[in-house]
Amino acid sequence: MLKVAHIITRLDFGGAQGNTLHTARTLDKSRFEASIVCGHWGDLEHRVFDKHIRYAEHLVRQISPLKDIRAFFELLKILKELKPDIVHTHSSKAGILGRLAAAAAGVPVIVHTFHGFGFHPLQSAPVRGLYVFLEKICAWFSDALIFVSKSNLEAARALGIGAPARYHLIRSGVALAAYPAKADRAVKRAVIGLDDTHTVVFSIGNTKPQKNPDHFIEAARRLAPKFPSARFVFAGGGAELKKYQDKVRELELEKACLFIGWREDTAELLAASDIFAMTSLWEGLPRALVEALRTGLPSVCYATDGVTDILKSGVNGCCVPQGDLAAFCDSLAALLGDAALRARLAAGAAATDLAEFDIDFMVRQQEELYEELAGGKGPSR
């Protein structure tokens, strides 16, 4: 029995968190014993049995030198108590502190998944350079580096993060069997105040700079007068939600643009929509796009990171140059104004081969990797 400890900064809503929870829950129990180590007060903590979760109280998202040092020693103490055969870290903060603590604790196998990078275009050059340097240091302690997109893998290679021989492409998994969801389109639209006369542009994400909600709102502002029946719906919460709801009111866009907060029924809402749109400035591999394509929605997204792996202009949607709001609006306008084009790209979306994104296939790939890496080191007793 191999003991696997997954370390993640916090169990909030998000793809990395959902994948980590699913992996810990569905690893073959005859071969693996899984636990999760994370910071406290995440929205998804209730999905983990108490005996399988440990909290590092000082592990937080924000950079805080004092808390980060305390978090390192908390993680070190927890790992010495758990004595795992494998530590698998997720997210940037937990990836750095977790791998350093695992190395200090003498954990035999250390794995890290990049669900996107902790460095991004909005950071200053010194801050970005520091993150890249830290990733290079932590890669020395990593037996395997997992990437969810080809784009992230190639970026790491170009930056010299870790040895390419240790690179593995394992997609961010989605429960493909749940899409397209069975939903009464009229009923589901009515829940959020819409009806069948509306053409719904739907987006999913946290209201943080990465997801760039400002461009989503600006697209609604530019296009709503031209397409009175269009409705732009953003499902997602986070600390900035009220800020964007207030902005929509200030622009007098309440009817055309809806920020509806976190929803448990996004699969049904996708099925009740007409177009998927995403304005993210950087991503690992956005699971929401996979869900949208599986649902059969033509999609308009910025050509960022993992998006380019699966979204092909003229085939299943429109892949727009990163940050080019004018081109983004033009692509949305083309779809809003041409039902035949929507239908053709919707067929292309539904036909997209997404087999490698199946969430259970993701877990099987991880199981194989764990056993390969553990090799002859033997499980803990």
Query: What is the DSSP-derived secondary structure letter of residue 27?
Result: S
Burial class (CB in 10 A: 0-12, 13-18, 19+), 213: buried
**Whether residue 148 is found in the same domain as residue 246:** no
Residues spanned by the domain of 121: 2-173+358-377
**Whether residue 156 is found in the same domain as residue 216:** no
**Whether residue 156 is found in the same domain as residue 13:** yes
List alpha helices for 296-324, DSSP H.
307-310
**Whether residue 164 is found in the same domain as residue 184:** no
What pLDDT was estimated at residue 50? 62
Q: Structural domain tally of the chain?
A: 2
| pTM confidence score | 0.89
**Whether residue 128 is found in the same domain as residue 208:** no
Burial class (CB in 10 A: 0-12, 13-18, 19+), 81: exposed
pLDDT per residue as tens digits for the range 287-301: 999 999 999 999 999
pLDDT per residue as tens digits for the range 142-176: 999 999 999 999 999 999 999 999 999 999 899 99
**Whether residue 343 is found in the same domain as residue 363:** no
The span from the first CA to the last CA of the chain, in angstroms, equals 8
**Whether residue 18 is found in the same domain as residue 146:** yes
Element containing residue 103 per DSSP (H, E):
helix 92-104
Q: What is the CATH number of the domain that holds 80?
A: 3.40.50.2000
Q: Is the peptide bond before 321 cis (omega within 30 degrees of 0)?
A: no
**Whether residue 298 is found in the same domain as residue 197:** yes
What pLDDT was estimated at residue 116? 84
**Whether residue 296 is found in the same domain as residue 166:** no
Tokens of 361: 């296939």
**Whether residue 187 is found in the same domain as residue 265:** yes
Residue 129 has a CB neighbour count (10 Å cut-off) of 12
Pair 85, 93: CB distance under 8 Å: no
45 has a pLDDT exceeding 90: no
